[in-house]
Amino acid sequence: MKNNLKVLALLVIIFNIACAKTANTKEEDNHHTPISSLGKRLHVIPQGSHYCDGNIYTSINLSKLNFKVKFDSSAIYQTASPSNQVDINKLYGFSDNNNLHHNYSARFGWRWRNNELQIFTYIYNAGIVSYQRIGTAQIGVEETYSIEVANNSYIFSFQEQTTIMPRESTTTTAIGYKLYPYFGGNETAPHNIKIWIEEF
C-alpha cells in the first residue's frame, strides 16, 4: 500500500512539473511575439539590438503583401551620432528571386527625422540598394501598407500614396522569406522600440 502511495505521489509531482514547464514555455513565447486581442503582432526591437524579438525564418511565395502598422512614441529617437539620424530602419517586407535579401528584396523603411516619422520604399536588385520617400506616418495611428509584385516592378502603397520601384527578379512571384523590423543603419536601437503589425 505504501509503495502504491509513493508511486502515486511521484506521478503527481512529475505531472505538475510538466504542466509548469509548458506554462512557462508559453509565457516565454508570448513575451517574444505577443499578439493582442485585435490580432496585431507586437514586434519589439530591444535596446542595444538591431533585430526584433521573434525574428524567425518564414518562407513566402506571393504576388502581394498587405499589412497594417502602428508605431507608438518609442519610434521617436535620437542617434548617438547626428550623422546616423538619416539612416533608414527596416519595417516589413520580403526577399525575392529565391535569394538573400541583400541581393533581391522589397520592404518598407522608416526613420525619425525633422520631428516626423518618415516612410520609405526600400529595395535590393542584384545587390544594389535603392529607396524613395513615400510619406509620413502618424504616431499611435494604424495605417495600411502594401507591396505588389508586377512583372519588372514593385508597386508600393502607403495610405493614399503609391510609388513604383524597379524589379529585376526573374521569378513570376516573390519567392523568398519575410523580412521583419530591424533598427539601423549603423547604430543599434537606443531604447526598446515597439511596432504593431497585422497582415490582412
Per-domain boundaries in the chain:
41-199
Question: Cβ neighbours of residue 103 under 8 Å, at least 6 residues apart?
Answer: 95, 97, 124, 126, 127
Residue 152 · residue 168 · CB < 8 Å: yes
Between CA 100 and CA 102 the distance in angstroms is 6
Burial class (CB in 10 A: 0-12, 13-18, 19+), 139: middle
pLDDT of residue 39: 58
| pLDDT averaged per 10 residues in sequence order, the chain, 200 residues | 43 35 32 47 97 92 98 98 98 98 99 99 99 99 98 97 98 98 97 98
Q: The domain at 41-199 falls in which architecture?
A: Sandwich (2.60)
Question: How many Cα atoms occupy the beta-carbon half-sphere of 138 within 13 Å?
Answer: 6
Comparing CA positions, the residue from 87, 80, 130 lying closest to residue 111 is 87
Q: Please give the grid coordinates belonging to residue 78.
A: 535620437
